[in-house]
Structure 1
């Protein structure tokens, strides 16, 4: 014969169910906070004041960036709106994972035959390139580029 369902059993079931829900929420919140890579800008209001002007200048360049990774080398081909190699005065990049900063690298690129090349050991998976370049006329060019390395 089955034992009767008492108020004490119902209370234990309810407390256990909500305890599991609260524990899962705490674990998920901790993981979200611990994997947050940080802010893009210190003051978003100040950044918004010049955003449209900077975007228009960058779009006027007409640059297209094509990343490629093979044989331990990361290559960036930057072309202008005519399809020719862009006139890049300076180039900096940070290569890292999309979800954390532990594997971030700031490689030095060599300019070889119209292509920016650097030796880099990237494990398979999703990577993100934060590219900051300056055109010969001084126009800033910033772009986030997704790169997937096949394994």
Structure 2
């Protein structure tokens, strides 16, 4: 004996609610993960930061520093040369080494001067990293840069 199944409006409603429920749940999950892993803003007040940006950029460019960053065998090296090609030893005010996508594994490298460059041991796996540096030149100029690095 066979029973005929009748697809009613209630079945269609349940099907539509189920499909859209899954879509909404996945979107909410993606939105939560996007917000939870976002490192935040660079400056709390972008307008104030923009007012002094050009002056700071010109002061940094006037230093004529040639900065090279390398990451090899879990050793981070920052070599700075002045316009004459001599090594520069600035004061490190702030350094943050970490992934560009999240802040949970950020490290604060403890740089040591080796006579020609600043070096620091870091824990780096394979992938892309950012080094955010804030240095102080001998003349009092603040030097701020972000250097993308990759480890293989």
Q: Could you say which residue in structure 2 is the equivalent of 1:93? A: 95
User: What do residues 59-103 of structure 1 show as CA deviations (whole Å, max 9, x unaligned)?
Assistant: 222323221122331111122344442x34312311111122111
Q: Could you say which residue in structure 2 is the equivalent of 1:64? A: 66
Q: Could you say which residue in structure 2 is the equivalent of 1:127? A: 129
Between stretches 17-26 and 54-63, larger displacement belongs to 54-63
Q: TM-score scaled by structure 2?
A: 0.86
- Structure 2 unaligned segments of length 5 or more: list them: none
Matches within 5 A, 1:77-116: 77-85=79-87, 87-91=88-92, 92-116=94-118
Structure with larger Rg: 2
Matches within 5 A, 1:35-46: 35-46=37-48
Q: Could you say which residue in structure 2 is the equivalent of 1:118? A: 120
CA distance in 2, matches of 1:88, 1:14: 66
Which of 112, 135, 138 matches 1:136? 138
CA distance in 1, matches of 2:144, 2:89: 12
Matches within 5 A, 1:42-53: 42-53=44-55
CA-based RMSD of the aligned residues comes to 2.0
- Structure 1 unaligned segments of length 5 or more: list them: none
Relative to structure 1, is the Cα distance of residues 43 and 6 closer, same or farther in structure 2, using a 3 angstrom cutoff?
same
